[in-house]
Amino acid sequence: MKQIILTGDRPTGRLHVGHYVGSLRERVRLQNTGTFDEIYIMIADAQALTDNAEHPEKVRQNIMQVALDYLACGIDPEKSTIFIQSMVPELTELTFYYMNLVTVSRVQRNPTVKAEIKQKNFEASIPLGFFCYPISQAADITAFHATVVPVGEDQEPMLEQTREIVRKFNEVYGETLTEPQILLANNRASMRLPGIDGKAKMSKSLGNCIYLADSPEEIKTKIMSMFTDPDHLRVQDPGKVEGNPVFTYLDAFSTDEHFAEFLPEYANLDELKAHYQRGGLGDVKVKKFLNNVMQSVLQPIRERRTYWEGRTDEVYEILKAGSAVAEKTAAKTLQEVRHAMKIDYFDENNLLK
Ligand code: TRP
């Protein structure tokens, strides 16, 4: 069986370091293993519109920003097809057929939908398009017969919903669609990077993000102002590493090579943590190290971003070409779906048979 990746992001803002360690870094790694036959990275503008219907210009502007972030992180258009969701209208048609296989109460029970309804104050009046987005996400994934979907942990319920739709479709109409597997980041810290204020989620509205496009000065200021262990008042006091975002960031970003380069008195993160827990290690020293680590990770990303910012006409061509490739694949799947559902009336005069 072919190994196929599909994943994507809503273009509602620039991507931040939480996206990077939670999913982007893994996508680039997977891309470069060479073990995948096809890789699709989708800018989910239609999904972004499900809760931004009144702000299409925000979604539109962020398409280029997200594309730049992808290229900056090392998504290579020679190896991965980057495309815009709404430029593949076949996805919408698939969504419409899949909607018949899902009940309202099943979507209502989807934990991600539940959380978002609360967060967006949609309780009293949920836009129907928003409510159906898990079904549209199943269309995104199955249109490409994706076998692997590398995403953040919050997308787990979407994958579960997709697998259910695949099973139901195949049961009703015959074996047609492919069941995908989720692929999560490989450590807890990377899966859920907190904001610099220590809040559970990095989010634009909370103002607690470090963006991939931030300048070295902005990164440094943000790191030096980071929340740490509030009980670690004096250097000699023992400190806590659990729930301390500075250490969570080190879990997500630092490698033994970073220690050799910037803090050779410790061999690795375990030794640094042990010292902090014993007492005698100040927050400023740890933050300075984190700053060195993050600057060295983010510098090449920022440089590549600057390179592509000067070539947005090329980025435009990449998106246009990618969308054409994606549409071709999705059209083939749609044909298979219509055939399975016996609604391919005009293919080989099927309606007459
Ligand atoms: N829901 C994802 C997000 O909020 C974006 C997305 C849309 C997606 N369709 C997808 C992710 C299909 C993976 C697969 O970022």
pLDDT tens-digit map of 266-300: 999 999 999 999 999 999 999 999 999 999 999 99
83: closest CA among 333, 316, 308, 309? Answer: 316
Q: What is the mean pLDDT of the chain?
A: 95
Q: Ligand 1, atom 5: nearest CA belongs to which residue?
A: 9
Ligand 1 pocket check for 10: Cβ under 6 Å: yes
Mean pLDDT of all residues in 137-155: 95
Report the sign of the C-alpha dihedral through residues 186, 187, 188, 191, in that order: negative
Distance 44 CA to ligand 1 centre (A): 7
CA 31 to chain centre: 15
Mean pLDDT of all residues in 43-68: 96
Q: Ligand 1, atom 14: nearest CA belongs to which residue?
A: 7
339 with 178: CB under 8 angstroms?
A: no
CA dihedral of 196, 201, 206, 212, whole degrees rounded to 10: 60
Long-range contacts of 48-53 (CB under 8 A, 24+ apart): 48/10, 48/11, 48/12, 49/86, 49/129, 50/127, 50/129, 50/130, 50/132, 50/133, 50/136, 51/116, 51/120, 51/122, 51/127, 51/130, 52/12, 53/127, 53/129
144 with 329: CB under 8 angstroms?
A: yes
Ligand 1 pocket check for 151: Cβ under 6 Å: yes
Cα–Cα dist 324/41, whole Å: 13
Q: Which residues contact 270 (CB under 8 A, 6 or more apart)?
A: none
Q: Identify the helix (H) or strand (E) that includes residue 336.
A: helix 312-340
75 with 124: CB under 8 angstroms?
A: no
Q: Which residues contact 131 (CB under 8 A, 6 or more apart)?
A: 104, 107, 113
Distance 237 CA to ligand 1 centre (A): 44
Quote the crossing angle between the two packed helices 269-278 and 283-309, to the nearest 10°.
Answer: 140
206 — pLDDT class (breaks 50, 70, 90)? confident
Output DSSP code: residue 264.
T
Q: Poorest-confidence range of 21-30, 85-94, 329-338?
A: 21-30
Mutate which of 4, 144, 158 for ligand 1? The one with the most ligand atoms within 8 Å of its CB, which is 158
- Asked if the model's pLDDT at residue 238 lies above 80, the reply is yes
Distance 154 CA to ligand 1 centre (A): 10
pLDDT tens per residue, range 177-195: 999 999 998 888 888 899 9
Helices (H), 74-208: 90-98, 104-108, 111-119, 128-131, 133-142, 156-173, 188-191
Ligand 1 pocket check for 9: Cβ under 6 Å: yes
204: closest CA among 1, 7, 17? Answer: 17
Report the sign of the C-alpha dihedral through residues 234, 236, 237, 242, in that order: positive
49 — pLDDT class (breaks 50, 70, 90)? very high
Ligand 1 pocket check for 8: Cβ under 6 Å: yes
Give me the pLDDT at residue 137, please.
Answer: 98
Q: Report the amino acid identity of residue 278.
A: R
Nearest ligand 1 atom to the CA of 6 is 14
Output DSSP code: residue 187.
S
pLDDT tens per residue, range 209-224: 999 999 999 999 999 9
- Asked if the model's pLDDT at residue 162 lies above 80, the reply is yes
281 with 244: CB under 8 angstroms?
A: no
290: closest CA among 270, 262, 266, 256? Answer: 262
Tokens (6 digits) for 87: 């430029």
Mutate which of 137, 147, 148, 156 for ligand 1? The one with the most ligand atoms within 8 Å of its CB, which is 137
